[in-house]
Chain A
Amino acid sequence: MKNESIKILQKRKKAILELWMKNQLAEEGLRDDLMNNEDLRVQSEELLDALLNNLSDDTVGDAESSQFDTVTDILAGISVSRARQGFSPRETGVYVFSLKDALLETLQQEIKDPVILYAQSLKISKLIDSFGIVTFETFIKGREEVILRQTDEIAEISTPVIRVWDGILALPIIGTLDSSRTQIVMENLLQEIVESGSSIAILDISGVPAVDSLVAQHLIKTVSATRLMGAECIISGIRPEIAQTVVHLGIDLSQIITKASLASALRTAYTMLQLEVVKKRRFEKENA
């Protein structure tokens, strides 16, 4: 008796695929901009093949069974690639669950006994549900990979140390300053101080969205470390909002030289190095 429903499903594969495709195409959120119908059909057929070929009496109640490995692999591949392509979780979910509708509808057409139909539907439904869960797990994993990669990239590109002048380094900090980033910033800065023999470092925080007590703590740490290396540290790019929060939070920055803009910090640095920037004059006339 039981075998019957599986046989029915396997026999009517073509019809199921058609039904499934129809369901998918009828779905409002179909993203034909991300994937064309041909690809979708190929993908769906592959998955359906793998599912029906491995469907048997023993496996119908157990989505974890090793016979479904290929199905899980295909599903994982599909959801990871969808995560990268920018499908929403809902669209990915609908993709799997619309298969359930197709399968159940086919069963309904073939099996007339309500008791058997109910029992079989329940089993198929459970199976597809667990496949749905697998899909979501891998979908989220795919998304997380994307996020992790981006985080790494941001950390790498966002801490440059620039030599603006002989003996003057500038460090524009863009983005939130957390402890791991402070560590990277500090290491890069101190290393560069040693290599270039600089005596002044300018920390520009105009790209830091907000300064709370923790961020201020990190800044003070960086400044103290620079002092231990025998260099002076100037913090520039203090926006009015930042000045307000810093004072409201009761953070003491009086031991640190702070400037409103990078230009004024640079001017201070020149003064400290006893340099002077003068406008070029035409000496030829005077010399003649």
Chain B
Amino acid sequence: MEKIPILRMGPFLLVTIQVDLYDRLAENLESDLVQMVSKTGAQGVLIDISAVSIIDSFMGRIIGNIASMSKIMDAETVVVGMQPAVAITLIELGLPLKGVHCALNVERGMELLRSRIALTDGTPDDDADTE
């Protein structure tokens, strides 16, 4: 059975989705990732979806769910590398992924994660986009 690897990198978890996601795979990823966050006490999760070219409402919801779950487990989630077509599809489906931070590529995503963790470590997060 296919499985999406979850890599640990310092205080972060790295998930790169290299195949087109189908429903079962996505559901497994969701539960695996939450398990992994609790086991490692990761502070940030980075999901790379640059290889995903097709997305449906279910997948959009799963990504949103993962972000919300990690958030309540005190880990920031950043989705990186979304393709323009995927972004337009999500918007047209009415899924603007509120509460999920996005970045153009992995590099920017790591930067964003670091700055957000520095923020939460220091003064209380006063960013407007917290849910």
Which residues of chain A have a CB within 8 Å of any CB of chain B? 183, 186-187, 190-191, 193-194, 197, 199, 221, 224-225, 227-231, 255
Contacts and interface: CB of A to CB of B under 8 A. Distances in A.
A187 B90 CA distance: 13
A190 B89 CA distance: 12
B104 A193 contact: yes
B102 A228 contact: yes
A229 B91 contact: no
B119 to A, nearest CB: 15
B73 interface: no
B80 A228 contact: no
Instruction: Report, as a range, how many residues of chain B touch the other chain.
Output: 20 to 34
Q: Is the interface of B mostly helix, strand, loop or mixed?
A: mixed
B96 A231 contact: no
Contacts of B103: 230
A201 B4 CA distance: 33
Nearest to A228: B87
Contacts of B112: 230
B19 to A, nearest CB: 21
Instruction: Give the most central of B79, B80, B87, B96: most A CB within 10 Å.
Output: B87
B102 A227 contact: yes
Given A225-B90, A229-B102, 17 more contacts: A183-B88, A186-B88, A190-B88, A194-B83, A194-B84, A199-B104, A225-B87, A227-B96, A228-B79, A228-B97, A228-B102, A229-B82, A229-B84, A230-B101, A230-B103, A231-B104, A255-B129
A227 B104 CA distance: 10
A231 B92 CA distance: 18
Q: Is the interface of A mostly helix, strand, loop or mixed?
A: helix
A199 B88 CA distance: 17
Nearest to B102: A230
A193 B85 CA distance: 13
Instruction: Give the most central of A191, A194, A228: most B CB within 10 Å.
Output: A228
Contacts of A191: 84
Contact of B91 (A193, A224, A230, A255): A224
Contacts of A187: 84, 88
B104 A225 contact: no
A227 B108 CA distance: 13
A221 to B, nearest CB: 5
A245 to B, nearest CB: 23
A95 B105 CA distance: 66
B109 interface: yes
B91 A225 contact: yes
A62 B92 CA distance: 53
Contacts of B84: 187, 190-191, 193-194, 229
A186 B96 CA distance: 14
4 pairs of A and B residues whose beta carbons are closest in the complex:
A190-B84, A230-B103, A224-B96, A228-B87
Interface string B109-131: 10010000000000000001100
